[in-house]
């Protein structure tokens, strides 16, 4: 009888995406990194707010618009206060929004580095013969699913491919070449480990 260990992996990008911008100091396109600071300007009842980025080579600044000529009464007081104190959670909200940043500048540079927090949901590692992994994303990442699973389970990508070929590994939603595509929020990965060598090590890595 299969004994399934259910775990939620909460995946967070470790490095914010960097816009590729023509730097007027360097004289070419350079990656700019988020400074972690906002700039807020009040002109009467109008508010402008930007997230500040810096050229990785010369430290030249670029301001990413958050609000432009926005009426003060249309901005929640708590949000305005968070902007003014450079609230880290708000910085992360805007800084890690790769879709919005790409829409703003066109080209961005993304890092596959992530941190993974593993939360047990049901079952016990001892004697587990199957894994059920729920993948939740804190923000989008370009990291491929096979690289995530191989790194976190301590196995090779070729072994993952062998599991898939033997139908020991299932991915929902499946899609074509799901292992080679970036991790998506809400994915579920099922692995049948019954009869597999090194099963205990894989189970231990899944929850460590």
- The 10s digit of each residue's pLDDT in 136-189 is 999 999 999 999 999 999 999 999 999 999 999 999 987 778 999 999 999 999
pLDDT of 1 strictly over 60: no
Please give the residue range of the domain that contains residue 26.
18-109
Q: How many domains does the chain have?
A: 2
Do residues 193 and 133 both lie within one domain? yes
pLDDT at 43: 85
Question: Is residue 98 within 8 Å of residue 152, measured between CB atoms?
Answer: no
Tell which of 109, 131, 165 closes a domain: 109
Q: How confident is the model at residue 2 (pLDDT cuts 50, 70, 90)?
A: low
Q: How far apart are CA 170 and CA 192, in angstroms?
A: 9
Mean pLDDT of 9-38: 96
pLDDT digits (tens, 9 = 90+) for 27-84: 999 999 999 999 999 888 899 999 999 999 999 999 999 999 999 899 999 999 999 9
Question: Is residue 206 within 8 Å of residue 133, measured between CB atoms?
Answer: yes
Question: Is residue 98 within 8 Å of residue 19, measured between CB atoms?
Answer: no
Do residues 129 and 170 both lie within one domain? yes
Tell which of 80, 109, 138 closes a domain: 109
């Amino acid at each position: 009888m299969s004994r399934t260990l259910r775990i939620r992996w909460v995946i967070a990008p470790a490095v914010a995406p960097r816009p590729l911008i023509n730097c007027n100091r360097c004289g070419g396109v350079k990656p700019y990194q988020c400074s972690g600071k906002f700039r807020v300007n009040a002109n009467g009842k109008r508010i402008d707010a930007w997230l500040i980025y810096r050229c990785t080579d010369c430290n030249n600044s670029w301001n990413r618009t958050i609000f432009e000529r926005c009426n003060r009464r249309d901005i929640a007081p708590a949000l305005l206060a968070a902007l003014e104190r450079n609230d880290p959670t708000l910085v992360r909200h805007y800084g890690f929004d790769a879709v919005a940043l790409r829409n703003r500048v066109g080209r961005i540079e993304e890092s596959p580095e992530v941190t993974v927090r593993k939360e047990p949901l049901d079952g016990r590692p001892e004697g587990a013969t199957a894994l059920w992994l729920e993948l939740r994303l804190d923000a989008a990442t370009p990291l491929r699913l096979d690289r995530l699973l191989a790194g976190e389970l301590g196995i090779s990508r070729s072994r993952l491919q062998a599991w898939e070929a033997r139908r020991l590994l299932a991915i929902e939603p499946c899609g074509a070449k799901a292992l080679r595509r970036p991790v998506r929020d809400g994915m579920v990965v099922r692995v049948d480990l019954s009869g597999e060598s090194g099963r205990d090590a894989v189970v231990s890595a899944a929850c460590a």
